[in-house]
Structure 1
Amino acid sequence: MWALLAAVAVIAVIGVVLTVTLSGRGQHDKARPAAKTGTSATASASPDNTPVPVSKIEGLLPRQEALAAAVADPELGVVMSGDAMDEVTVVDADCQGISSVASGPVYAGTGWTAIRWQRWYSPPDIDTHDLKHGLLVSVATFPRADNAQAFYTKQSDKWKRCAGRTLDMTVTNGDNEPRVFWTITEVTESDQLVKTTAISEGGGGWSCQDALTIRNNVVAQADVCGNSIPPNAAQDILGSITPKVDAAG
């Protein structure tokens, strides 16, 4: 995609890496979790589930094999990871949660206690000029399942209001940021999982699947981007996370 359409592809990758997926430049070093509160045992699926402790959050992230299988690309490798959120804002801030897997403005005031995120590329080079797939995954813990449920419900409602819109995802708190626009397709929800696809304007076919789900006191999100993506890639990735949550609770 980087040959004759290099300029277009650069815009597409900027959209994935800087604006749509992480909503910034990987600045996950500012927003920190709220102070912990009491943790009575509640969960979205069963009120008897014990909340997953922060100490187990690292083990909730998917393995490389699960990600590679989801996009049929064995070359995927981690190029960046973190345990904090960015504070980047975009023009259409009401829809920022669709594609920002670790956004401070999206999680602000929700009571989140910890987050872990990873960025995966194929080829696994942060500076590649031949990006085939770009994936971002995150898991965030809350004190109780009802806190996570409240976050999920609010985001699901927001996602649905963004369906069918062309979003201006240009960063507003940076300098000389490029204009970036993405069109949101239909938003669907089933079994506590909401998903959609975002298509890059002028991106030469580049698009991102976005999916968000909840399990117990954990919210998981996946953004899967490329010129060719299997239809359920993001959903399959989240499906590899939920059993880990069940085992950790």
Structure 2
Amino acid sequence: MRTIDALRPRWVAAAMVLASMHLSGCVSTVDGTAVRGHGSVLFDVPPLDEAHLDRILLPIEQINTIVGSTRMEVTSEVDEMTDHSAEVSAPDCLGAVYGAEAPVYEGTDWIAVRDQVAREPGTDNDHWVEQVAVLYPEAQNARDFFDDSKATWQDCANNAIVVGDGEYLWELDDVVVGDDLITQVTTQEGADGWACQHALSLVSNLTVEAWACGYTITDEAVQIVDAMVANAAG
């Protein structure tokens, strides 16, 4: 089971949560949900099932390439939701700072989840990445979760969230909103610029989410969710 320490190697070390990839491929016509990838490729994606989930997450080699590292390794993989709502000063903003949280997905009828964390070894790592893929019974469930998350992130924007025992303060920026993508940058106070880009997208009956954290983060989380969407369409 995932613990808060597994989620926040840089929170504990006082520096945690936060190469453009152009998606390419052919347009096909199948029964399913049409989704435009952020690289301007139109995907017609039929409903997915749990057997598809393990192909959605990016391999560690691809994560290393996106964030500009060569040493990141997977440190946590779980297939269940957790609950860290007691660890944040504003529980209503839990979904803006944590992934795969049971209270955030309550009422969505989600049926399966994959959650993976990767970073460089040791306590002084330069990057931290989380990928989350959540499957629902219908595409409308995914859309409803996306829309609810957009409203929540916007409500929490330009606020400071305390995590843990009060020693970690995270400042949430404005939310950048698109039809099938929302992003937000979160910066840890007093951590020499350590920040995370948080991105959420959807495809068919699936939502995909990523946090890309480091000292020079730009659009890495967007690249990760774009690639996850492409994997779902492949």
Normalised by the shorter chain, which TM-score bucket? 0.7 to 0.9
Question: TM-score, length-normalised on structure 1?
Answer: 0.76
- Contact between 1:164 and 1:185, CA under 8 Å: does it hold in 2? yes
**Does residue 130 in structure 1 map to residue 124 in structure 2?**
yes
**Does residue 84 in structure 1 map to residue 80 in structure 2?**
yes
Is there any run of 5+ residues in structure 2 with no aligned partner, and where? 1-8, 19-30, 37-43
**Does residue 45 in structure 1 map to residue 35 in structure 2?**
yes
Deviations 1:40-87 (A, max 9, x none): x753639x7431011211111012232112211121111111101112
Instruction: Give the aligned partner of residue 138 of structure 2.
Output: 144
| Pairwise CA RMSD | 2.3
- Contact between 2:14 and 2:191, CA under 8 Å: does it hold in 1? no
- Contact between 1:187 and 1:196, CA under 8 Å: does it hold in 2? yes
- Contact between 1:194 and 1:213, CA under 8 Å: does it hold in 2? yes
- Contact between 2:13 and 2:123, CA under 8 Å: does it hold in 1? no
User: Runs of 4 or more off by more than 6 Å in structure 1?
Assistant: none
- Contact between 2:83 and 2:101, CA under 8 Å: does it hold in 1? yes
Whole-angstrom distance in 2 between the partners of 1:112 and 1:94? 19
After TM superposition, list the pairs within 5 Å mapping 1:1-249 onto structure 2.
Answer: 11=11, 13=13, 16=16, 43=33, 45=35, 49-89=45-85, 90-122=88-120, 125=121, 128-170=122-164, 177-229=165-217, 231-247=218-234
Deviations 1:128-186 (A, max 9, x none): 2211111111101000110000001000111111111112234xxxxxx3432111112
Structure 1 residues 181, 215: closer, same or farther in 2, change over 3 A?
A: same
- Contact between 1:213 and 1:221, CA under 8 Å: does it hold in 2? yes
Q: Which moved more, 1:130-139 or 1:49-58?
A: 49-58
Question: TM-score, length-normalised on structure 2?
Answer: 0.80
- Contact between 1:167 and 1:181, CA under 8 Å: does it hold in 2? yes
Identity %: 25
Matched residue pairs, number?
206
Whole-angstrom distance in 1 between the partners of 2:56 and 2:10? 32
